[in-house]
């Protein structure tokens, strides 16, 4: 057991006058990977946006590696090695895969590791190596997701956040992607993952938080309780 690399302490946040997150407290990186789950629209993405500096919280602290980063710019948070892969492949369509990878390594802390990280990405996603000069707009959904995660790995993450990485993927591609995410985790990068596929989330995570109406309604730590698929579903939908 190690210290958490990230602690979210009493975070309240929202959009304009609408409050979405209410006094959220959780931690990541102490036991391994953290899985976040819960019904649609209950604030998971909003929480990730607060962590990565895309949304300023109304109150609370986001402590990454001992420093409160709440309200810091997204750019400086990336430079700390906290990397967020948002939902839905937000990539520049006219860049090639190679360009995306170079862009991922732009941050000063990532540049010295560019070559080693490129090798890791190519090993993890051999399909990308075959299409290195191909433009993003010509890629399939699965390939774009690989580019998104590959670009994040080029940023030399110390903590990697994935928002619904398997969303909308066909079963075979999804299986490939799940295997790659598990491989990333075995490589020692702690993950925070939002995912609707509970089986995958249970396989990947050592610690789980259920986000319900913008608050943590259940936390499951290793050894406390082991939840199966059916119990998780009943937490989701009620009895
Ligand atoms: N940019 C925005 N402006 C205003 N309201 C927003 C914005 N983004 C999200 N919301 C609102 O915040 C609430 C939480 O949305 P959020 O995307 O965080 O939920 P989620 O749990 O990640 O859902 P999903 O699983 O569907 O992505 C929703 O009511 C949504 O309408």
Calculate what percentage of the chain has a pLDDT beyond 90. 80
Check pLDDT > 70 for residue 34.
yes
Distance 186 CA to ligand 1 centre (A): 31
Ligand 1 centroid – CA 22 distance (Å) = 14
- Round to whole Å and give the CA distance between 189 and 172: 25
The model's confidence at residue 3, banded by pLDDT at 50, 70 and 90, is: confident
What ranges make up the beta strands (E) of 29-169? 34-37, 59-64, 67-68, 82-85, 159-163
CA–CA distance from 30 to each of 53, 60, 120, 183, 192 (Å)? 22, 20, 25, 19, 12
CA of 239 to the centre of ligand 1 (A): 25
Q: Which residues contact 117 (CB under 8 A, 6 or more apart)?
A: 104, 105, 110, 153, 154, 156
CA of 166 to the centre of ligand 1 (A): 19
* Predicted local distance difference test score (pLDDT) of residue 238: 60
Provide residues with CB under 6 Å of ligand 1. 15, 18, 20, 38, 40-46
Q: Which residue has the tokens 């990565």?
A: 52
Residue nearest to atom 29 of ligand 1 (CA): 41
Domain ranges (residues) in the chain: 6-89+157-237
Rounded Cα gap, residues 101 and 61, in angstroms? 32
Q: What is the pLDDT of residue 227?
A: 62
**Using 50, 70 and 90 to split pLDDT, how confident is the model at 61?**
very high
pTM score: 0.93
Is 224's pLDDT higher than 70?
no
Q: Which residue's C-alpha comes closest to atom 28 of ligand 1?
A: 41
DSSP 96: B
Helices 114-124 and 97-104: crossing angle, nearest 10°?
Answer: 130
| Residue range 163-220, pLDDT digits in tens | 999 998 999 999 999 999 999 999 989 999 999 998 899 899 999 999 999 999 888 8
17 C-alpha vs ligand 1 centroid, how far in Å? 14
Share above pLDDT 70 across residues of the chain, in percent, rounded to a whole number:
92
Residue 194 to residue 205: CA distance in whole angstroms: 10
- Contact between 229 and 199 under an 8 Å Cβ cutoff? The reply is yes
- pLDDT value of residue 223: 67
pLDDT of res. 225: 57
Q: Is the CATH number 3.40.50.300 carried by domain 6-89+157-237?
A: yes
The contacts of residue 235 (CB under 8 Å, 6+ apart) are 210, 217, 218, 227
Task: Determine which residue's CA is closest to atom 6 belonging to ligand 1.
Answer: 15
> Interface pTM (ipTM) of the complex?
0.95
In the predicted structure, residue 92 carries a pLDDT above the cut 70: yes
From the alpha carbon of 87, which atom of ligand 1 is closest? 27
- Report pLDDT for 165: 94
């Amino acid at each position: 057991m190690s210290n958490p690399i990230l602690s979210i302490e009493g975070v309240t946040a929202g959009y304009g006058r609408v409050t979405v997150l209410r006094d959220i407290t959780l931690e990541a990186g102490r036991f391994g990977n953290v899985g976040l789950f819960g019904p649609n629209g209950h604030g998971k993405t909003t929480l990730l946006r607060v962590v990565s500096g895309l949304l300023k919280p109304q109150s609370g602290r986001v402590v990454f590696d001992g420093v409160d980063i709440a309200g810091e710019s997204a750019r400086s948070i990336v430079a700390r090695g906290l990397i967020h892969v948002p939902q839905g492949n937000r990539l520049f369509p006219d860049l090639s895969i190679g360009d995306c990878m170079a862009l991922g390594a732009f941050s000063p802390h990532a540049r010295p590791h560019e070559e080693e990280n490129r090798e890791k990405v190519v090993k993890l996603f051999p399909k990308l190596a075959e299409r290195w000069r191909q433009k993003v707009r010509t890629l399939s959904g699965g390939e774009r997701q690989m580019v998104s995660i590959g670009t994040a790995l080029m940023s030399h993450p110390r903590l990697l956040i994935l928002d619904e990485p398997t969303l909308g993927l066909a079963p075979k591609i999804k299986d490939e992607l799940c295997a790659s995410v598990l491989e990333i985790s075995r490589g020692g990068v702690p993950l925070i993952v939002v995912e609707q596929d509970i089986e995958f989330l249970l396989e990947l995570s050592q610690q789980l938080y259920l986000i319900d109406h913008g608050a943590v309604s259940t936390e499951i730590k290793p050894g406390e309780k082991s939840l199966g698929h059916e119990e998780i579903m009943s937490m989701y939908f009620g009895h």
